[in-house]
Amino acid sequence: MKRIVTALGIAATITLGAHGAPKNITSGAPDAKSGVVRAIAFDTAYTAIAGATLANPALSPLRHTVSNTDIAAGYRRVHYDTAPSSASGHGTGYGFFEASTYILTGNAAITGHAEYHNGKVYDVQASETTDASILYPYFTADEIGGDMSREVYSFGGSYASGFGAGWLYGASIDYTAVQDWRQVDPRPKNSVGRLNLAGAFGRKFGSYSLALGLDALKYSQSNSIKFVSELGAGKVYHLTGLGTDYKRFAGTGLSSNYSGWRYGADISLYPATEGVFGMASYHRFTFDKQLNDLNRLPVNRAAHTDWTVQAGWRTDNIIVSLTWGRSRRTGFDNIFGDPVGQVYPEIASIASYFMRSWHTGLSGLWRSQGTRHRLDLGGHIDFSHRLDCYISAPVDRRMRADAISYGIEATWVWQCAGEWLLSLKGAADMVSPAKCSLTGLAGADGYFTDMLRADYAYLTHSRALYTARAGIDRLLPHGRTIGLRLSGVLPVCAGDSNGNGFEASAVFSF
Amino acid sequence: MKYIRLLILLFTLPLLSCSDDVPAASSVDIKIVVELPEQFSGHAAESSTFHITNLSTGNTIDITRNGSYAATVSVSPGLYTIRYDGTATLDGAPEVAIHASVSSVTISAPTTVSLPAYATVETDDLIISEIFFTGTLQTSGNSYNGDQYFKLYNNTDHVIYADGLVIFESLFLTTEKFNYEPNIINSAVSVDALYAIPGSGKNYPVAPGESLLIADIAIDHRTINPNSLDLSHADFEWYDVSTSPMYTDIDNPAVPNLDKWYCYTQTIWQLHDRGFKAYGLARIPEGKDAFMAAHYYTVDYENITVAGAFPMTKRGYWLPNDMVVDVVNLSIESNYQWNVTDPSLDSGYTYCGTINNDKTRYFHSVRRKFLAKDGDRIVLADTNNSGDDFNPFVVPSEIELQKSVTDISGATASTVTIDGITPAEQ
């Protein structure tokens, strides 16, 4: 409850800050305070295409041309009949309160956000660890799983401005806390903290802004599992990748810690109005897993690197981007000798898990914008490759999943019937598996290899996600709007419906 | 146009770099050499199988090298248990099984690992066919363990007299290993409880294929705990005169007591109900007084914790390996660290439950596997490897025979088996 109050307090602070901002707004059309103008000019789809470039905090003033603050509350749910990944579960459903602001003032931009989510992750299997995508493959797991209750608190902000003759700077801070738990056996209780700091310096060259950014993330997760049933406790495993686990410590280590750092740098270029843009970034993330019950024994560690390059071109009504990314992860099993009492001497560290992935994609959006309407037509096509390996003699397991994904979307926003603003969006995203293979599992059986096979089977199916969204906003005095949003999603897997999802929310904007 | 070509080149380059650049697995070559018992020197192995188990991953490499007592294999660096099973024949003698094993071998660089081998000798004595150490649960959910028992079995084709046979419990836990000084494991078993079957030599004959039931408290436990057993028909019970009124034993005068030679506790002896110890049988020809006078010893070790190293001492008796008739190491997978007896006595372990404090372990026992029938006589497995010889975590024979409760839900046993697995009709 204390955290909720804190989050709401931050949101209120941001809101009040934004409330006083309009008199200083200098960007955008003369009637930027108009709810219609703001709703039409402030969107995320256009800038999302250049998102990798605009993530540099010094370029934050170039993200939008008008200020905007949204306060939203609602419920969001998506449920997959076949889980995309057993460790991430069959979807999520949660109520949310979200506040975000983007304020342009002078040559500076101030952003802020605060979020609170409370809900469930459905039927998580083969992992009792939060943040499956970050910590893969080193989960603590059991053979039972189930729904997980989740609370998320997140807040952050940034400031960017200029000084001197065309110099730029910016800084941002974001913090996210997650709590996952279950009230039936097995009873995990996970607390996650992610603190992200970023800073950047840059310079204007004509209409272009070039910025060099540095960022760092501190990651921590404490993870504990309890069994209280009189009928017995499940066995806890420490997974090491592709259906394998650290056999020696199976059944022990009900309490563990994950701790990691990510750091990185990027160089980004973006035009004030139209022209080319691009960025290149490098990030490295390392973490280790410790078993608290065994004197914080560091059983696994991993090192992950990401390279991203983006190049694109934009005008007022067209934006096109090519993005290329490459990732590598190497996971290590720390090997220990015979314990002397409670102390395990480390005798070796074996690199047994490898992941290599890259993706390359083209995305674009065409926009037709008037004073009372906006039409966006966008599309993307991507090719991705991922290879996961677990190699420790005599085991050599490899899973390859290549895919082509493509999609289109259309968004239409227009002012109708005087004080009403209507928005409609439709999107279709498809994934076609390309070269896929899963080798090295001959004769292997057991719960975790079954989960691996299920995850692989999902990746080998054609998938689609259809989205429809409608929103209506009432224009209020002083440029404010209040509205409702409704959306539905239909996941499809192998030609059949694979669940459903919807979102309903109320949004107050100014 | 040239910029477009450049962009296309830039973004298609990764497509061409899809080579298999996965790093090779770390591996080292090791040579495993079996050191033969003296009487087998110079005799070729008829069959030889090496089992190399990585304790971290659980992966096992099995290599067959018939005709050789050595093998070379490439393995990941790590902590290993290496086992050898083979057969050899002396001139004119029947084929003999040879086993060897070493545990907790650290392999981080190319090395030669020596395995001291021993020949399996058929035990011409009683063997342990079942240990019911977990006890039962009361209807309240509380544990009840006065109903623990051993079953001893005559696996031979002739009568064996149980008189004087000693039941012992290991001093050390299989789940806790220290650097004990002196380390006598290769020559003796460290014990903390010794109870002998009474008799002057031929009072208690056991016919081929017959068993002895030795209970903790030989009463009908169902009068105290409806989920328990009737053990009033036991052949023997162990009885302790407790120094604490909080913990007292019950003596059934109708059932003979074992002779108590020694027990570490001043109260009552109960088997470790999670199964962290080894239990065995021994023949001690010198008798109680001479043995007790000559085999007391203390063992020192350091308990090393993150808070520091603390000198510790344990006290018990050392029981020479050549007096041991049979031994069964018990442990659980999640906490197993070592066998507390020499591999020649037992090179494996058996268990009830898979994790520490496993609540499902109650109402379960370990039972020696059915091997074959010799006429009407059941022959049980006995290779001095409890991991191979026993069915772990099975319904106890007395629960089967009495059709009593098999778990806290109150379900009752409906079938009778030879070994917990094989139907009795076999």
Q: With an 8 Å Cβ cutoff, are B59 and A394 in contact?
A: yes
Kindly determine whether residue B141 and residue A251, on different chains, have CB atoms separated by under 8 Å: no
Q: Which two tokens stand for residue B252?
A: 């059934």
Joined together, the tokens standing for residue A322 give: 């090519």
CA of A331 vs chain B CAs: smallest distance (Å): 12
Rg of chain A, C-alpha, whole Å: 24
Q: Which of A250, A326, A335 sits opposite B77 (nearest CB)?
A: A335
B77 interaction partners in chain A (CB closer than 8 Å): 335, 347-348, 350
Pairwise CB contact (< 8 Å): A354 & B77: no
| B179 vs A contacts (CB less than 8 Å) | 340
Partner B contacted by A231 (CB < 8 A): yes
Mutate to test the interface with A, among B4, B11, B73 (most CBs of A within 10 A): B11
CB half-sphere exposure, B369, CA atoms < 13 A: 14
| Strand segments (E) across A450-495 | 463-475, 481-493
Quick: pLDDT tens for A395-433: 899 999 999 999 999 999 988 877 899 999 999 999 999
Q: With CB atoms and an 8 Å threshold, state whether B22 touches A356.
A: yes
Residue boundaries of the structural domains of chain B: 29-119, 126-402
Burial class of residue A35 (count of CB atoms within 10 Å of its CB; 0-12, 13-18, 19+) = buried
Query: What was the pLDDT predicted at A19?
Result: 39
Per-residue pLDDT reduced to its tens digit, B148-186: 999 999 999 999 999 999 999 999 999 988 889 999 998
Which of B78, B303, B334 is facing A251, going by the closest CB pair? B334
Task: Closest CB to A338: pick one of B14, B76, B104.
Answer: B104
Q: Which CATH number fits domain B29-119: 3.30.1070, 1.10.3470, 2.60.40, 1.10.760?
A: 2.60.40
**Does the pLDDT of residue B397 top 90, yes or no?**
yes
Can you give the pLDDT at residue B121? 61
Q: How far apart are CA B205 and CA B219, in angstroms?
A: 23
User: Going by DSSP bridges, is the β-strand pair B211-215/B149-154 parallel, antiparallel, or unpaired?
Assistant: antiparallel
Q: Which among A246, A295, A396 has CB closest to B56?
A: A246
In 3-state terms chain B splits into helix, strand, coil percentages (rounded to 5) of 10, 40, 50
Cβ contacts of A325 on chain B, cutoff 8 Å: none
- Give the burial string for A403-433 (b: 16+ CB within 10 Å, else e): bebbbebebebbbeeeeebbbebebbbbbeb
Task: Give pLDDT, residue A278.
Answer: 97
Q: What is the mean pLDDT of residues B94-114?
A: 86
CA distance B54 to B34: 19
Which positions in chain A touch B75 (Cβ < 8 Å)?
393
Question: Can you give the three-state secondary structure of A239-306, one letter per residue?
Answer: EEECCEECHHHCCCCCEEEEEEEEEEEEEEEEECCCEEEEEEEEEEEEEEEEEHHHCCEEEEEEEEEE
**Residues A335, B79: C-beta atoms closer than 8 Å:** yes
pLDDT at B227: 94
Query: Residues of A with CB below 8 A from B314's CB?
Result: none
Chain B residue whose CA is closest to A398: B22
Q: Which residue has the tokens 């979807």?
A: A91
Asked if B359 and A396 come within 8 Å (Cβ–Cβ), the reply is no
Answer yes or no: do B359 and A232 touch at CB < 8 A: yes
Which chain A residues contact residue B104 at CB under 8 A? 337-338
Return d(Cα A201, Cα A318) in angstroms, integer.
28
Which residue among B14, B108, B303 sits closest to A326, beta carbon to beta carbon? B14
Interchain CB distance below 8 Å, B305 and A341: yes
Q: Is A310 on the interface with B (CB under 8 A)?
A: no
Q: Which residues of B touch A322 (CB under 8 A)?
A: 7, 10-11
Q: What is the pLDDT of residue A7?
A: 42
DSSP label of B181:
B
- As a three-state string, the secondary structure of B243-302 is CCCCCCCCCCCCCCECEEEEECCCCCCCCCCCCCCEEEEECCCCCHHHHHHHCEEEEEEE
Q: How many CB atoms lie within 10 A of CB B282?
A: 24
- Cα of A456 to nearest chain B Cα, Å: 20
Given a contact cutoff of 8 angstroms between Cβ atoms, the answer to whether B83 and B51 are in contact is yes
The answer to whether A308 contacts chain B (CB < 8 Å) is no
Write out pLDDT tens, residues B358-382: 888 999 999 999 999 888 899 999 9
Q: How far is B61 from chain A (nearest CA, A)?
A: 7
B301 min Cα distance to partner chain A (Å) = 9
CB contact under 8 A, A311 and B10: yes
**Nearest residue to B104 (alpha-carbon basis) of B392, B351, B336, B390:** B336
Mutation to test the A interface, candidates B134, B334, B339, most A Cβ within 10 Å: B334
pLDDT at B4: 55
Q: pLDDT value at position A35? A: 75
B245-266 residue pLDDT tens: 888 999 999 999 999 999 999 9
User: Closest chain B residue to A244 measured between Cα atoms?
Assistant: B57
pLDDT under 70: residue ranges of chain A: 1-33
Tokens representing A411 are: 């968004």
Considering only alpha carbons, which residue of chain B is nearest residue A386?
B18
Contact yes or no for B76 and A343 at CB 8 A: no
Residue range(s) defining the domain that contains residue A33: 2-509
B74/chain A closest Cα distance in angstroms: 8
d(CA B140, CA B90): 60
Tell me which DSSP letter residue B44 carries.
Answer: P
- Say whether A60 sits in a helix, a strand or coil: helix
- Are B56 and A343 inside 8 Å of each other by CB? no
Q: If you measure CA to CA, which chain A residue comes closest to B18?
A: A385
Amino acid of residue A186: P
Distance from the Cα of B333 to chain A's closest Cα (Å) equals 8
pLDDT at B15: 55
**Chain A residues 362-391 with CB within 8 Å of chain B:** 362, 383, 385, 387, 389, 391
Selection from A390, A439, A143 nearest residue B354 by Cα: A143
Binned at pLDDT 50, 70 and 90, residue B215 comes out as very high
Question: Hey, how many other C-beta atoms are within 10 angstroms of the C-beta on A26?
Answer: 10
pLDDT on residue B360: 87
The whole-angstrom separation of Cα B257 and Cα B236 is 6
Question: Which is nearest to B105 in space by CA: B73, B64, B128?
Answer: B73
- Give me the residue from B54, B304, B355 closest to A251, CB to CB: B355
